Structure 1
Amino acid sequence: MRRKIGRILAWIGGLTVGLVALTILLVVLLSGEDPVPDQVILEINLEQGVAEYVPEDPFAKLISDDVRSLRDVVGALDAAASDDRVVGLLARGGGAAMGFAQAQEIRDAVLDFGKSGKPTAIFAETFGEFGAGNVGYYLATAFERIYLQPSGDVGLMGLAMEHPFVKGTLDSLGIGVQMDHRYEYKNAMNLYTETKFTDAHREASEALLKSMVDQMVLGISQARGTTPEAVRDLINRGPFLALSAHAEGLVDSLAYWDEVHGLVKREHGEDTKWLDIKNYLKRIDEKPYGEGTKVALIYGVGPVLRGKSAYDPLYGSATMGATTLTKALRDAVKDKDVRAILFRIDSPGGSYVASDAIWREVAKAKKADKPVVVSMGNVAGSGGYFVAMNADKIVAQPGSITGSIGVLAGKFVTTEFWERLGITWDTAQVGENALIWGTGAEFTPEQWAKFQTWLDRIYEDFTAKVAEGRDMSQADVHAVAKGRIWTGEDAKAHGLVDELGGMKTAMSLIREALELEADASLNLVVFPKEKTLIEQVMEKGLIRTLSRDDALERLTTELQPVFRFARTVRQPRQVLEMTPMDIR
């Protein structure tokens, strides 16, 4: 009955959404884009953040209509640099709603745009009001001029990592933890088993932060015309109120948004028009990376799981499904027009078997003489590195988080927890190890030994495949593995990455592999093929497209995990996954 009511509500909701969408669709079909004016200043709001990609899911496209992909931002800036109609760039910044590596990729694109001789400026109300503004300010220094609101701040004060530990909570609830890892740096399980950083956990975390701060210091000092030592001194004395920030040379002027807007407009003449970067991309005739040698662009975003990739528009989160990724790789190999594959990865890892399935298809693509170049986003660690390690070339931003070559697994033991609630469990089983993953009892000595063998096998397989893909000895791989995370810069020094940069660097390596000219045009085509909303409506019908049960029922099932927790404690079973990190 409950499901029937849900289906009825879903159908009604889908019909409503469908009618609205149909209206929008007709407006779009009956209206065309205006041309780019003869003289424009591009505008971009960097506080809105960017997404690696928004998939073909119609709800994702409707809900995420204002979200810009990183590829679109970089591509638009690249196109605008050589477009005579574009005379400058003005951004709003401050709170960079993006990861460190994404900020570096946009920062590089802004610097490249500035090489065209066109002026760039950015305005911020604040860089961290009562909080850290490190990444936002670091990104802002790519612009020639930085304007700060007189009441604003510059929260340049170094990076920090705060990590919770719930062992005390689990102990007080009577929940036991039986987990193990390979090896000491594979620290995701520390959340459950420790009360503070272990020595290895602290060592890796501090090294990661130091590498990122070093990158920030170098970039800021070069952009602001000062020394790294001076920037480090500023970091240790931060944060700064607006007047102090101006006096220290962190910003160029103090002004409000309307004043900056008017000033930039007057510099270019009153006839100059404003154009948002997303609208600019829609209006230009030659889309970035839309012509030339065909290259398959495959996205691997989110935790690695078995099955199909998925996207939750409510949270803006994706999963990298092995079924989807392996098919995309096979389709790219079968397409005779595809000359190479650009594999963009932003993933903390996940399932071992799913990662291995994707690894296999990358290996087959190489054997089919389709060069595979990986471009890493914010993170490509553990399973995220597993799927990358067999590529012909790997590119990472200096601040990408990668490595974490290791494995962990285990289970919770909840018997005492339930007893405290007055709930008892009983079991029936056929097979000595039928309940090996059950939460009602600890591993037996024999099961624990089997579990250790299992962890050893996965670690051995992981490191052997790294050695094969990276042309290293397994001993050398083990020295930099053990579950340890690295920045892209450090990973390159250890042989885990080939080049530092973003998608543009990856495309340069593709040109080299195909023996093309350095400026040869590439046509990036997303695999699996992206379908427009019109194509989906024609294929499935409007109601089926926009009111699928799984899409709308998602709204009514968001609270289900809360109730499921009251019945059992969810087990962490993704063996090639990194711990979440809050770096500020």
Structure 2
Amino acid sequence: MKRFLIGSLAFIGAMSVLFVVGLIGLLVLASASGPTVPSNLVLELDLEDPLPEYVLSNSLSGAFGEEPTTVHDVVDALEKAGDDPRVKSLVARVGNPGSPAAAQEIRDAVKAFRAKGKKAVAYADTFGEQDNTTVGYYVASAFDEVYIQPSGDLNITGLTFETPFARDAFAKLGVTPRYHKRAEYKNAVNTYTEQGYNAPHREATERFTQSLFGQVVRGIAEDRKLTEDTVRGLIDRAPLFGQEAVDAKLVDGLRYRDEVMGTVKKDAGPGAELLYVHKYLERAGRPHTSGDTIALVYGVGGVSRGKSQSSPLGGEQVMGGDSVAAALRKAAEDPHVKAIIFRVNSPGGSYVASDTVRREVQRARDAGKPVIVTMGTYAASGGYFVAMDADRIVAQPGTLTGSIGVYAGKFVTQAFWEKLGVNFETISAGRNATMNSSDADFTPEQEARAEAELDFIYKDFTTRAAAGRKMPLDKLQGLARGRVWTGEDALANGLVDALGGYPKALALAKELAKLPSDAPVHVEVYPRKKATSEVLSELLGQKGDNSEDDAASVSAQAPFSALMKSVDAVYSLGARMGLFEHQRASLYSPMPRASWE
């Protein structure tokens, strides 16, 4: 009996081993037989909606469908495809690619793809139908050919920035904005304290509008082989009907989608297949996957203390100082990392959190790891603060940056509540205990402390910026004062070092790491992308293995995104009216509302 049991157990064990081996074999076979890249391929790209800059490592979007294609995905895919003989061409539906800086990143990638002998065709059902699509067409003009369907039009009417001013509305409500700022161009609070553009606000806004508009006009003129005066004249005539756009040489023909697709597939040769860019990237792999390691760290969203945040299903992102600092720290401590590329796309936020990130940039450099910042749509105020100590700063011409300044304050709502018949009474201990309260104005002593805080932060910001940019302090202060610049003007003023995007940052990383320009490198994102199981564990409250792992993680909010957005909208309105708390000193530069789609 004993022998029988032992024999049975041995048989079961052997069968278990065979089962595991067989299962592994099936998995390997399944992996090997997965989708491959067709031998004759036309890449397809959807630019109907803006591309996100980055998907945080806590996102569950991949578990409920495909993750969104990011700006960097497009750059990587087109770089890979440019050297892939299976890829014959690119066809893209273009609508609203986002900001001018995002448009320039995509345009650069398309042009690099074409420079390798590959054809690129853009189409749209219409560039407009009541919407301004100037920047959308700006992207399309970088392609070899541009088509719209016969019923479409070309609504390239220029660029518009709209800024609401609500001082009188607040007065009617009985709400008093009590804000202080450094300096005169720091216009974040003007929405509350002014009823129109003051002189510095108008000057800065007109300058960066004209800078952006000039970039768009030059790009279209160059790509469509027209003069800048001609392009400006066509923009002033717009919207243009379809045949008018063809006659003006802005569009190559009036074709429906099926006609465009049929032609590009025919031109690619027999058996040509279409494959979306993100699918191609999954199957073909990214470029830069072997050789010395270059770390890529993202800092996306408003800067806040603590962890980076995002709804796990998507939505607005917050650049958590702890998370980004930990990612920079890990990259700096990794002996395999030769340099760090830091992608910043942020309008700023917390002074303290910005300084937390800046410190790790400084420490990485002290450890011998070059840091190269590449700026996205904006890297302003706190977004510039985190970047200013890098070895090199790269911006797109259309990046909005600078805004070296600070503001702080609160809304005094006592009269508002009196109108509603609500009376707040306060009992406090400590002379300045009510300093952050919205129920009472600042006392003279509190006002003096608030002004002193801004003086300290502004001096710190400008002093550090001058040191980081190796610029005399008085010159830096002349460029600061809270003023926003385009990347084009920032380069002329010495606030950035070069114009470009990811490829330019990578070239500088190799140079500063003393690697040959043609050396293969492995670009690795820090921190690594989390598995779905890890994200679910975090949602359930599980922490990392140690403080470093925990700091490098992100905060996964409850997956009720629609509800969260509604609650957040109500809270934001209340916060702006001072119903919750005093707003501490902020390195923040809210971008004006733009009509450039």
Decide: shared fold, TM above 0.5: yes
Structure 2 contact 60–535 (Cα < 8 Å) conserved: no
Distance 1:244 1:70 in 2: 32
Alpha-carbon deviation of 1:522? 2.0
Distance change in 2, residues 1:241/1:406 (3 Å): same
Aligned to 1:397: 396
- 1:152-177 CA deviation, whole Å, 9 max, x = no partner? 11111211111111212211110011
- Matched residue, 2:559: 552
2:145 aligned with 1:138, yes or no?
no
**C-alpha distance after superposition, 1:210-233 (max 9, x if no partner):** 001111111111100111111111
Code of the residue aligned with 1:80 in structure 2: it is: A
For residue 127 of structure 1, report the CA deviation from its aligned partner.
Answer: 1.1
Deviations 1:333-353 (A, max 9, x none): 111111111000000000001
C-alpha spacing 1:64/1:481, structure 2 compared with 1 (3 Å): farther
Q: Give the partner amino acid of 2:47.
A: L
3-state secondary structure, aligned to 1:412:
strand
Task: Report SS of the residue matched to 2:60.
Answer: helix
Paired letter, 1:408: Y
Q: Which residue of 1 aligns with 2:292?
A: 293
Which whole-Å deviations, capped at 9, do the CAs of 1:328-383 have from their partners, x for residues lacking one?
11111111111111000000000001101111111111111000000000000000
Q: How many angstroms apart in 2 are the aligned matches of 1:58 and 1:325?
A: 16
- Contact 1:47 1:96 survives alignment (8 Å): yes
The Cα offsets for residues 386-418 of structure 1, whole Å up to 9 and x where unpaired, read as 000000000000000000000011000000101
Q: Name 1:67's counterpart in structure 2.
A: 68
Question: Mapping of 1:302-321 within 5 angstroms?
Answer: 302-313=301-312, 316-321=315-320
Which amino acid letter does the alignment assign opposite residue 119 of structure 1?
Answer: K
Count matched residues. Answer: 554
Q: Is the 8 A contact 2:97 2:135 kept in 1?
A: no
Q: Is the 8 A contact 1:54 1:61 kept in 2?
A: no
Matches within 5 A, 1:491-510: 491-510=490-509
Residue 434 of structure 2 corresponds to residue 438 of structure 1: no
Q: Distance in 1 between matches of 2:77 and 2:120?
A: 15
Q: Which residue number corresponds to residue 212 of structure 2?
A: 212
CA spacing shift, 1:244–1:517, aligned 2, 3 Å? same
Q: 1:520 Cα shift?
A: 1.5
SS state at 1:50 partner: coil
CA apart distance, 1:61: 3.4
Mapping of 1:365-384 within 5 angstroms? 365-384=364-383
Mapped partners of 2:150, 2:28: distance in 1:
42
Partner of 2:177: 177
> Match for 1:454: what amino acid?
E
Output the CA distance in 2 between the equivalents of 1:483 and 1:192.
Answer: 17
- 1:316-395 superposed matches below 5 A: 316-395=315-394
Name 1:569's counterpart in structure 2.
579
Give the drift of 1:317: 1.4
Q: Which residue matches 1:461?
A: 460
Q: Distance in 2 between matches of 1:278 and 1:189?
A: 41
Report the AA paired with residue 78 of structure 1: E
Deviations 1:247-300 (A, max 9, x none): 11110000111111112222223411111111111111x522222210111100
* Contact residue 312 and residue 559 of structure 2 kept, 8 A: no
Q: In structure 2, what is the Cα distance between the partners aligned to 1:556 and 1:148?
A: 38
User: In the superposition, relative to structure 1, how do residues 52 and 511 fare at CA in structure 2: closer, same or farther (>3 Å)?
Assistant: same
Deviations 1:402-444 (A, max 9, x none): 0000001100000010111111000011111011111111111
* Contact residue 380 and residue 402 of structure 2 kept, 8 A: yes
For 1:84, give the aligned amino acid: P
User: Which residue is equivalent to 2:43?
Assistant: 42
Q: 1:410 to 1:63 in 2, by over 3 A?
A: farther
2:41–2:86: 8 Å Cα contact kept in structure 1? yes
Question: Pairwise CA RMSD of aligned residues?
Answer: 2.4
- Aligned 8 A contact 1:60 1:311 in 2: no
Query: One-letter code of the match for 2:586?
Result: V
Cα deviation for residue 46 of structure 1 reads 1.0
- Partners of 2:494 and 2:246 in 1: CA distance: 42
TM-score by length of 2: 0.89
Aligned to 2:594: 583
Change (3 A) 1:519 1:574: farther
1:271-290 map, 5 Å: 271-284=271-284, 286-290=285-289
Name the residue aligned to 1:15. none
How far 1:147 sits from its partner (Å)? 0.5
What letter is aligned with 1:44?
L
Aligned partners of 1:308, 1:535: CA distance in 2, in Å? 16
Give, in angstroms, the shift of residue 474 of structure 1. Answer: 0.9
Once the two structures are TM-superposed, the CA of residue 313 in structure 1 deviates from its matched residue by: 4.7
Partners of 1:54 and 1:64 within 8 A in 2: no
Q: Secondary structure at the match of 2:251?
A: coil
Q: Separation in 1 of the partners of 2:239 and 2:401?
A: 30
Q: What is the CA-CA distance between 1:65 and the residue it aligns to?
A: 2.5
* Alignment gaps of 5+ in structure 2: 1-25, 544-554
TM-aligned CA deviation for residue 315 of structure 1:
5.6
Residue number in structure 1 paired with 2:5:
none
SS in 1 for 2:584: coil
- Cross-structure match for 2:528: 529
Q: Note the alpha carbon deviations across 1:85-107, whole angstroms, 9 max, x for none.
A: 001111111x2242211110010
CA drift at 1:63 = 5.5
Aligned partner letter, 2:420: L
Alignment of 1:408-447 (within 5 A): 408-447=407-446
Q: In structure 2, what residue type is equivalent to 1:103?
A: A
Q: Find the residue that maps to 2:471 and give its secondary structure.
A: coil
CA spacing shift, 1:124–1:549, aligned 2, 3 Å: closer
Identify the range of structure 1 (357-366 vs 266-275) with the bigger mean alpha-carbon deviation.
266-275
Q: Structure 1 counterpart of 2:78, which letter?
A: L
- Asked if 1 retains the 8 angstrom alpha-carbon contact of 2:510 and 2:516, the reply is yes
Q: Is the 8 A contact 2:327 2:526 kept in 1?
A: yes
8 Å CA contact retained: 1:358, 1:387: yes
TM-score, normalised by the number of residues in structure 1: 0.90
Alpha-carbon deviation of 1:532? 2.6
2-side partners of 1:498 and 1:467: how far apart?
Answer: 14
How far, CA to CA, are the matches of 1:161 and 1:406 in structure 2? 21
Q: CA deviation at 1:78?
A: 0.3
**Following the alignment from structure 1 to structure 2, what is the Cα–Cα distance between the partners of residues 492 and 129?**
36
Aligned-partner Cα distance in 2 for 1:203–1:38: 55
In structure 1, C-alpha distance between the alignment counterparts of 2:71 and 2:471, rounded to whole Å:
33
The one-letter amino acid of 1:575's match is S
Note closer, same or farther for the CA distance 1:333–1:157 as it changes in structure 2 (3 Å cut).
same
Structure-to-structure mapping, 1:177-256, within 5 angstroms: 177-256=177-256
Residue aligned with 2:180, SS = strand
SS in 2 for 1:346: strand
Partner deviation per Cα, 1:487-539 (whole Å, 9 max, x = no partner): 001000000000000010000001111121112222111112222335667x7
Task: From the CA coordinates, give the structure whose radius of gyration is larger.
Answer: 2
Paired residue secondary structure (2:518): coil
Tell me the SS of whatever aligns to 1:96: coil
Residue 81 of structure 2 corresponds to which residue in structure 1? 80
Q: What do residues 534-565 of structure 1 show as CA deviations (whole Å, max 9, x unaligned)? A: 5667x7799989xx994236665554456666
Deviation (angstroms), 1:50:
1.5
Taking the aligned partners of 1:291 and 1:418, their CA distance within structure 2 comes to: 64
- Provide the residue aligned with 1:3 in structure 2: none
Counterpart of 1:6?
none
The CA deviation at 1:77 is 0.1
Sequence identity (%) = 44
Q: 1:61 to 1:172 in 2, by over 3 A?
A: farther
Shift in alpha-carbon separation, 1:379–1:558, aligned structure 2, 3 A: closer
What is the SS of the residue equivalent to 1:552? coil
Q: Kindly indicate whether the alpha-carbon contact (under 8 Å) linking 2:59 and 2:310 is maintained by their aligned counterparts in 1.
A: no
